Amino acid sequence: MHELIPLLKKDVIYMRVAEVARKISADYKDSELVLVGILKGAFVFMSDLMRCLTIPVEVDFIGTSSYGSDTNSSGKINLTKQLDINIKNKNVLIIEDIVDTGSTLVYLINYLKSFAPKSIKICALLDKHERRKADIKVDYSCYVIESGFLVGYGLDYAEKYRNLPEIYQLKL
């Protein structure tokens, strides 16, 4: 069994998510916005975030895989689900659970640009700089985290721990 060290409590997470949602709502109050959640990790965060938004949005998901059952990215990005919504001339906000190396986001931004959206921005629950390889700007982040492997609130280790309502650091 792995040791789980509590990092962020659910009520603290929710308050911060609501705060970020208010900023997004203000920034996009007069425009069309499409939320594109990155599966699987972002679905919990995206669910809470979109319920806190005060503007109409369209919602879609895109699937990627780069970790498998390891704690380090393989560096190879696999697209596991494509978009269903037409994003041409629309503002797109990518919803990510954690920005780590940034490689997945570089890949996805280039992929999404091929559909000619009006804009693409990034919203992440966790912006982690410890292993950042790509020059990625996170436009909206709930928390900046320096290091550690995190699980819970949608984040997993080998498909485990996503269901935890709070965020923990995983000690292997």
Widest pairwise Cα distance in the chain: 49
Q: What per-residue confidence (pLDDT) applies to 146? A: 83
| Domain ranges (residues) in the chain | 3-67+76-171
Q: What per-residue confidence (pLDDT) applies to 134? A: 86
Q: Residue 35: which residues within 8 A CB-CB, separation 6 or more?
A: 46, 49, 50, 57, 58, 59, 60, 93, 95
**CATH of 3-67+76-171 among 3.40.50.2020, 3.30.1660.40, 3.40.50.300, 3.40.1390.30:** 3.40.50.2020
Own/partner pairs, 5-10, CB within 8 angstroms, 24+ separation: 5/168, 5/169, 5/170, 5/171, 6/166, 6/168, 7/148, 7/150, 7/166, 7/167, 7/168, 7/169, 8/143, 8/153, 8/166, 8/167, 9/166, 10/153, 10/165, 10/166
Decide if pLDDT at 163 tops 80. Answer: yes
Of 16-20, 24-28, 70-74, 123-127, the one with minimum mean pLDDT is 70-74
Catalytically annotated residue among 48, 97, 100, 127: 100
Q: What per-residue confidence (pLDDT) applies to 147? A: 80
d(CA 97, CA 111): 19
Active site annotation includes 60 = no
Compare 41 and 34 and report the one with higher pLDDT.
34
Average pLDDT over residues 51-76: 78
| Reported confidence tier of residue 71, pLDDT bands at 50, 70, 90 | low
